[in-house]
C-alpha cells in the first residue's frame, strides 16, 4: 500500500511540475515515472532552477497518516549529462 501511495504522491507532484513549468517559462520535459522516481530531460541552463522546483513540488506533498499526522517524501536528485555519465556536483 505504501508503494502505491508514494506513486500517487509522485503523480500529484508531476501535475504541480507541469503547472510550475508553464508559470515560470521552463523547458524541462517529464520523460518517465516509475513508482517513486521521475526522470526529466532538462536544458543544462535550467538544472539549478529545476532542482529547486523539484524540491518544492515533490517535497511539499503531505501524505496523511492519521489525524494531524503526515509524512513528506525525501527528494534525491542525480544529474546525468548523458546516459551513464553522472555530472559531478
Domain ranges of the chain: 2-86
Q: How far apart are CA 13 and CA 17, in angstroms?
A: 6
Contact 28, 46 (CB under 8 A): yes
Asked if pLDDT for residue 89 goes beyond 70, the answer is no
Q: What's the whole-model pTM score?
A: 0.80
**32-56 tens-digit pLDDT:** 888 778 899 999 999 999 999 988 8
Amino acid at each position: 500500500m505504501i508503494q502505491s501511495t508514494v506513486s500517487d504522491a509522485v503523480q500529484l507532484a508531476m501535475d504541480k511540475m507541469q503547472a510550475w513549468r508553464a508559470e515560470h517559462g521552463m523547458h524541462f520535459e517529464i520523460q518517465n515515472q516509475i513508482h517513486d522516481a521521475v526522470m526529466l530531460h532538462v536544458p543544462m541552463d535550467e538544472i539549478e532552477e529545476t532542482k529547486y522546483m523539484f524540491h518544492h513540488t515533490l517535497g511539499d506533498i503531505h501524505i496523511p497518516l492519521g489525524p494531524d499526522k503526515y509524512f513528506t517524501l525525501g527528494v534525491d536528485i542525480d544529474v546525468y549529462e548523458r546516459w551513464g555519465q553522472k555530472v559531478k556536483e
